[in-house]
Amino acid sequence: MSMEDLYQEIILDHYRKPKNRAPELADEAVHVHHSNPLCGDEMDLRIRVVDDRLDAVVFDGEGCSISQASASAMTQAAVGRELKDALDLAEDFRRMMHGDDPARPDDLGDGIAFTGVAKFPVRVKCALLGWMALRDAIQTFERGASAHTVTHEE
Amino acid sequence: MSMEDLYQEIILDHYRKPKNRAPELADEAVHVHHSNPLCGDEMDLRIRVVDDRLDAVVFDGEGCSISQASASAMTQAAVGRELKDALDLAEDFRRMMHGDDPARPDDLGDGIAFTGVAKFPVRVKCALLGWMALRDAIQTFERGASAHTVTHEE
Amino acid sequence: MAIDVAAVRRSLPILDRELDGHRLVYLDSAASSLTPEPVLDAMDRYYRWSRSNVNRGVYPLAEEATDLYEGARTVLAGFLDADPTGVVFTKNATEACNLLAYGYVRAHLGPDDVLLSTVMEHHANLVPFTQAAAAVGAEVRHVPITPDGLLDLDAAAELLADGRVTFAAFVHVSNVLGTINDVPRLTRMVRDANDRAVVHVDGAQAAPHLPVSFRDLGIDSYAITGHKMLGPTGIGALVARPELLERMEPFLTGGDMIRDVTLTGATWNDVPHKFEAGTPMIAEAAGLAAAVGLLEGYGMAAVRAHERELTAQLLDALGTVAGVTVHGPKDVDLRGGAVSFALDGIHPHDVGAMLGSRGVCVRVGHHCTKPLMRCLDVAATTRASSYVYNDVDDLEPLVDGLEAAAAFFAR
Amino acid sequence: MAIDVAAVRRSLPILDRELDGHRLVYLDSAASSLTPEPVLDAMDRYYRWSRSNVNRGVYPLAEEATDLYEGARTVLAGFLDADPTGVVFTKNATEACNLLAYGYVRAHLGPDDVLLSTVMEHHANLVPFTQAAAAVGAEVRHVPITPDGLLDLDAAAELLADGRVTFAAFVHVSNVLGTINDVPRLTRMVRDANDRAVVHVDGAQAAPHLPVSFRDLGIDSYAITGHKMLGPTGIGALVARPELLERMEPFLTGGDMIRDVTLTGATWNDVPHKFEAGTPMIAEAAGLAAAVGLLEGYGMAAVRAHERELTAQLLDALGTVAGVTVHGPKDVDLRGGAVSFALDGIHPHDVGAMLGSRGVCVRVGHHCTKPLMRCLDVAATTRASSYVYNDVDDLEPLVDGLEAAAAFFAR
Ligand SMILES: Cc1ncc(COP(=O)(O)O)c(C=O)c1O
Ligand SMILES: Cc1ncc(COP(=O)(O)O)c(C=O)c1O
């Protein structure tokens, strides 16, 4: 288990200088709070939706480098996408974490740097936290609600 | 584990031709029923008491050769004794079954043939069944009662 | 492919043991099977190479231990044709039955429910449910047996007729009579009478000896125990439909089975983990997986064929001994390899002692089936039970020992 | 006599393992200890020589197995200075706590009773009792901790003042803070407030590391687990006053724990057997007895002295790393060898991954003490924990790894 397999340089960059990290979002459509009690990870995710598109995605939270960096990379990959498309991308990332080859490597952007995490089962849930929050935020929006709290492990 | 260690000739004699085996006893003072559900052994013991002495002791029951032979030998050793004395003898037998040297080898009569049973832990409770029934019968008499049922393993 | 008994025996150093100058003849596999070396090696490998605790460790040993443990779940599920999510590891089959009795019967049934049991149950599959029924005020009904030791399905139909039976627990293969019950048929009867009924089967004596497909049995849960199927002591499992596990309340609580804990409350982990509190039987799971690997290697159809043949020979051999009465079915298609019998006028303890003195290991007693003993009107039986390491050579010492006992204890 | 660490290490082949070119440095004994060869040998001997089931067998193998199993009970009782009649074998400490929660708390307490717990409990010693309290409508009170991680006994006195606490369950040695609680003192406080109170102590982290006299502690029951004390997985025990066991209701039911069974009811075997349903952990009991033999050979005073010394060195070493904050007492007389700490600004998962990549095995997470994590206001900690096979050479890789983590994850 070498550190380099897990912590690619891109991951460390996102960890050190997270993108779209913010505690608030003007005109937010949905705010979801996800937590993983086993790790103690906490994640607030906010989305703004314009014409069925993710106009803005910001996160805030606490957790290990993997969870924070993955959320940061996720926001970059997701913003500007149609909701359905973003859901599909989240599913692609989830499958990648379970060892499958991603179908949309280019669209995942920096998210692709997390491929190696699949080899570290205990860290998979960390990498997924932001993406699963995104999925939930979109589904919450589609249900017509504006906030949702989820406690989970995957 | 040789058969001879366990099944001394005296034991087999009592097993084949039990002494004082009877389903009834005239003028009985006490009748106790003991059973060991783990082995399925059943024992009815009846005593007649005259002047604080065991005037007659008879048993009836079902069980393995050891339990039947031991009860038979017990009746011979017990009959005629003062109640207190018989209790003491039963205690001597019990201690012998737990590996101690008997204090009253002569008084135990054929009971002494059961010394070897102490080496077979699963059979100890069989050898004790009749003696423990005797002890209970005497104690039941001393309490002023005339019948008692006990379910036990030792 | 037939079982290569000689090869199996080579993996069992215990069979080289002599007892008082007699060859060891082990005919007590229904109580506990012998454990071949590959099973011991699998446990050893864990202890000598990957020893650590499972779950959430971020170092390689802990990941290996977790893989071993979770891998065993998958292996067992594959062996029984079940969903790994439905496999809860327990310490033995008894705990598996209790898990269901507490997590389902006590939690969800009440005075309007009726439980169906049978008179041939092992205490492990009876007492937890009679206690649970008493606690919730439910009635328990018992399917009787026919004179040849089969479940009386006509009587069962009557017991089910009023549609009130919402829970049934019965044994797949009897540890005393050897009877192989028709699980799919009785299950259909139970469900036809009440389609909400939950059906639990005690597979402790079946999984080691027969091909078992949990899916094909059509039941809701199945209890097994490792030590009777070439595995180690200290591990068993409740194999269940995940939906049933979802409905069940937690039973043992503590670490690893929680999602979150506060000073006053808790939320629960996903199934099957919700039912596995505390440090699990890690080495034992590795050993059980290795045992399953051996059984799959032999092929369960071959295991069954071997035992069917040997049981036929055993029944024939017992027929040659004067005074022997066999309990249970005589038709080897209807029975497994556990054969209980009486030797006329001689208490099973005495029979067992004689056999033991000659190196022949059989079990005598009530075999944890007191109600069945009452039905058979005996206090105890002598039981010879075989497995993959037995062959026809083991029958002669048994027969000789029985004849010696008859002579020795003749009155 | 000091512990001969080199000799202990020679009995642990796993320590020769390399992880990615790094020497294995095992500092996770609070999660599970390594298992020396004599323990494996004891289990092997059972499997290769005496393999059979316990209880009522009339052949030599079965008697040997029974002797091994019952002998282990006596050995464990001797080690803990307790009555063998009060030793119930369970699969782990968690089951031991559940046994008490079901057999005593749920069976005998009610809405008028108050349970005393603490904020530093492992989930194993908390959740079974909070669930039981909720089931019977009893209140639970929690002793808080002082800033240095000791139980706040003044606060405890207030919680006890109204005399309503009839059951207390607390930990002997904290698996996170390392705190050694003053069990006799808190027990006296509980009993002075209410002399009918039952006092249970979780000794999972104490029995492996300190001399323990159950009698001298003055308590009613004590939970231990084999895999943390050089023993195998799959075995633990509830050690109790036999009188308490007598008062408890049966918990797991089934074979071997009964006296008699009918179709609808049952009567129970004598304690401790009344609480041991089904085939027990026979090999594991033999292994645990061997582990106890090793610990007695070292001498528990020597084990404690060794760990006290090593813990002092560990605390010193951690003091040299910038950004490290140790949780729990700094006075090594008040603490055991489990040391939790934070590395400023770096999540324990990342710390653990860095250490793991260098062969250093530590545990990161909430250590099954979520309420304590909330008290400490952290999500998780990194925990290094030592045992008889560790020495000062294991500290340098730890310190180096922490410094590497600090450099790697610096923002
Ligand atoms: C203090 C304490 N209590 C109880 C337990 C539970 O032990 P087990 O997982 O063996 O049941 C542990 C081990 O994690 C512990 O550290
Ligand atoms: C039919 C049956 N069910 C259940 C059990 C209980 O298995 P265990 O003792 O491993 O819990 C046994 C074993 O004795 C059995 O034969």
pLDDT in tens, D241-263: 999 999 999 999 999 999 889 99
Cα–chain center distance at D305: 19
Q: What number is the average pLDDT over the span B86-115? A: 96
Residue C291 and residue C39: Cα distance in Å, rounded? 6
Instruction: Check residue C338 and give its pLDDT.
Output: 98
Chain B: list its partners (3+ Cβ pairs within 8 Å).
C, D
Place of tokens 């307490």: D109
Tell me the β-bridge partners of C26. Answer: C361
Note whether D19 and D49 are same-domain residues. Answer: no
Residue where a domain stops, chosen among C296, C312, C331: C296
Note whether C333 and C383 are same-domain residues. Answer: yes
Q: Which residues of D are catalytic?
A: 368
Question: Are C130 and D62 in contact (CB < 8 Å)?
Answer: no
* D359 to chain C: closest CA residue: C59
Q: How far is the CA of C224 from the centre of ligand 2 (A)?
A: 8
Q: What does the block give as tokens for B120?
A: 């077979």
Q: Which residues contact A48 (CB under 8 A, 6 or more apart)?
A: A25, A26, A27, A28, A29, A54, A55, A56, A57
Instruction: Check residue C56 and give its pLDDT.
Output: 65
Place of tokens 């779940």: C73
Question: Are D259 and B123 in contact (CB < 8 Å)?
Answer: no
Residue closest to B41 by CA, chosen among C31, C177, C366: C366
Q: What does the block give as tokens for B127?
A: 């050898």
CA distances from D152 to A89, B123, C62, D162 (A): 52, 55, 35, 18
Residue B116 and residue D290: Cα distance in Å, rounded? 30
Does the CB of B38 have a partner CB in chain D at under 8 Å? Answer: yes
Q: How far is the CA of D32 from the centre of ligand 1 (A)?
A: 9
Question: Are B39 and C349 in contact (CB < 8 Å)?
Answer: yes
Q: Which helix (H) or strand (E) holds D376?
A: helix D370-376
Note whether C187 and C251 are same-domain residues. Answer: yes
Nearest CA of chain B to the CA of D73: how many Å?
17
CATH number at residue D359: 3.90.1150.10
Residue closest to C246 by CA, chosen among C92, C397, C85: C85
Q: Would the CB of D88 count as within 6 Å of ligand 1? A: no
Q: What does the block give as tokens for B7?
A: 């099944």
Instruction: Check residue D57 and give its pLDDT.
Output: 75
Domain range for D157 is 41-296
**A38 in helix, strand or coil?**
coil
Prediction ipTM score = 0.94
Q: Which residues contact D178 (CB under 8 A, 6 or more apart)?
A: D149, D311, D328, D329, D335, D336, D337, D338, D339, D340
Note whether C11 and C116 are same-domain residues. Answer: no
Residue D94 and residue C97: Cα distance in Å, rounded? 19
Q: Which residues contact A99 (CB under 8 A, 6 or more apart)?
A: A118
Note whether C141 and C288 are same-domain residues. Answer: yes
Note whether D309 and D265 are same-domain residues. Answer: no
pLDDT band at A153 (very low <50, low <70, confident <90, very high): low
Residue closest to A65 by CA, chosen among D362, D323, D349, D361: D349
* C31 to chain D: closest CA residue: D53
Note whether C160 and C184 are same-domain residues. Answer: yes
Instruction: Check residue B149 and give its pLDDT.
Output: 87
Dihedrals φ, ψ of A42, to 5°? Answer: -130, 140
Residue C8 and residue C36 in contact, taking contact as beta carbons nearer than 8 Å: yes
Q: Which amino acid is at A39?
A: C
Q: How far is the CA of D35 from the centre of ligand 1 (A)?
A: 17
Half-sphere exposure of B37 (CA within 13 A, CB side): 22
Q: What does the block give as tokens for C408?
A: 């020795």
Instruction: Check residue D56 and give its pLDDT.
Output: 65
Residue where a domain stops, chosen among C232, C263, C296: C296
Dihedrals φ, ψ of D408, to 5°? Answer: -65, -40
To the nearest 10 degrees (0 to 180), the angle between helices C300-319 and C282-298 is 80
CA distances from D409 to A3, A102, A121, D42 (A): 11, 28, 21, 46
pLDDT in tens, D102-114: 999 999 999 999 9
Note whether D272 and D123 are same-domain residues. Answer: yes
Q: Is residue D318 part of a domain?
A: yes
Q: How far is the CA of D204 from the centre of ligand 1 (A)?
A: 5
Residue where a domain stops, chosen among D248, D272, D296: D296
Does the CB of B153 have a partner CB in chain D at under 8 Å? Answer: yes
| pLDDT at residue A1 tops 90 | no
Question: Are B123 and C349 in contact (CB < 8 Å)?
Answer: yes
pLDDT band at A5 (very low <50, low <70, confident <90, very high): confident
What percentage of chain D has pLDDT greater than the value 70?
100
Q: What number is the average pLDDT over the span A128-146? A: 95
* D261 to chain B: closest CA residue: B37
Mean pLDDT check: name the lowest of B6-10, C94-98, C203-207, D287-291.
B6-10
Q: What does the block give as tokens for D235?
A: 């075995």
Residue closest to D325 by CA, chosen among D396, D391, D377: D377
Q: Which amino acid is at D212?
A: V
Q: What does the block give as tokens for A18?
A: 């997270």
Task: Give me the domains of chain A, ranges plus CATH numbers.
Answer: 3-146 (3.90.1010.10)
**What are the DSSP calls for D306-338, one per residue?**
HHHHHHHHHHHHHHTSTTEEE-S-S-GGGB-SE
Residue A89 and residue D7: Cα distance in Å, rounded? 56
Instruction: Check residue B152 and give its pLDDT.
Output: 65
Residue D25 and residue D16: Cα distance in Å, rounded? 10
* A37 to chain C: closest CA residue: C260
What percentage of chain C has pLDDT greater than the value 70?
100
Note whether C21 and C49 are same-domain residues. Answer: no
Residue B22 and residue B133 in contact, taking contact as beta carbons nearer than 8 Å: no
Half-sphere exposure of D170 (CA within 13 A, CB side): 33
Residue C332 and residue C342: Cα distance in Å, rounded? 19
More confident residue, C313 or B119: C313
Residue B153 and residue A27: Cα distance in Å, rounded? 78
Q: Is residue C343 part of a domain?
A: yes
pLDDT band at C90 (very low <50, low <70, confident <90, very high): very high
To the nearest 10 degrees (0 to 180), the angle between helices C60-79 and C282-298 is 40
pLDDT in tens, D165-187: 999 999 999 999 999 999 999 99
More confident residue, D373 or B147: D373
Note whether C167 and C229 are same-domain residues. Answer: yes
Burial (CB count within 10 angstroms: exposed 0-12, middle 13-18, buried 19+), residue D147: exposed
Q: How far is the CA of D252 from the centre of ligand 2 (A)?
A: 13
| pLDDT at residue D147 tops 60 | yes
pLDDT in tens, A78-113: 999 999 999 999 999 999 999 999 999 999 999 999
Q: Would the CB of D217 count as within 6 Å of ligand 1? A: no
Residue C260 and residue C268: Cα distance in Å, rounded? 7
Note whether C199 and C110 are same-domain residues. Answer: yes
Instruction: Check residue B154 and give its pLDDT.
Output: 42
Instruction: Check residue B4 and give its pLDDT.
Output: 82
pLDDT band at C372 (very low <50, low <70, confident <90, very high): very high
Among the partner residues D227, D255, D374, nearest to C123 by beta-carbon distance: D255
Q: Give contacts of D68 with chain B, Cβ < 8 Å.
A: none
Q: Is residue D229 part of a domain?
A: yes
Q: Give contacts of C117 with chain D, Cβ < 8 Å.
A: 263
pTM of the predicted model as reported, rounded to 2 decimal places: 0.96
Burial (CB count within 10 angstroms: exposed 0-12, middle 13-18, buried 19+), residue C7: exposed
Question: What ligand is nearest to the CA atom of residue C176?
Answer: 2
Note whether D263 and D340 are same-domain residues. Answer: no
The neighbour count for residue C181, using CB atoms within 10 Å, is 24
Q: Would the CB of D86 count as within 6 Å of ligand 1? A: no
To the nearest 10 degrees (0 to 180), the angle between helices D282-298 and D60-79 is 40
Q: Would the CB of C278 count as within 6 Å of ligand 1? A: yes
CATH number at residue C52: 3.40.640.10
Q: Is residue C36 part of a domain?
A: no
Q: Give contacts of B61 with chain C, Cβ < 8 Å.
A: none
Mean pLDDT check: name the lowest of A117-121, C324-328, D113-117, D156-160.
A117-121
For residue D272, whether the previous peptide bond is cis, meaning omega lies within 30 degrees of 0, is: yes
Among the partner residues A37, A121, A122, nearest to C259 by beta-carbon distance: A37
Report the domain count for chain C: 2
pLDDT band at A154 (very low <50, low <70, confident <90, very high): very low
How long, in residues, is chain B?
A: 154
Tell me the β-bridge partners of C364. Answer: C382
pLDDT in tens, D319-370: 999 999 999 999 999 999 999 999 999 999 999 999 999 999 999 999 999 9
CA distances from C274 to C271, D32, D95, D266 (A): 5, 21, 14, 30
Among the partner residues C63, C260, C270, nearest to A37 by beta-carbon distance: C260
Residue D350 and residue D399: Cα distance in Å, rounded? 15
pLDDT in tens, D186-237: 999 999 999 999 999 999 999 999 999 999 999 999 999 999 999 999 999 9
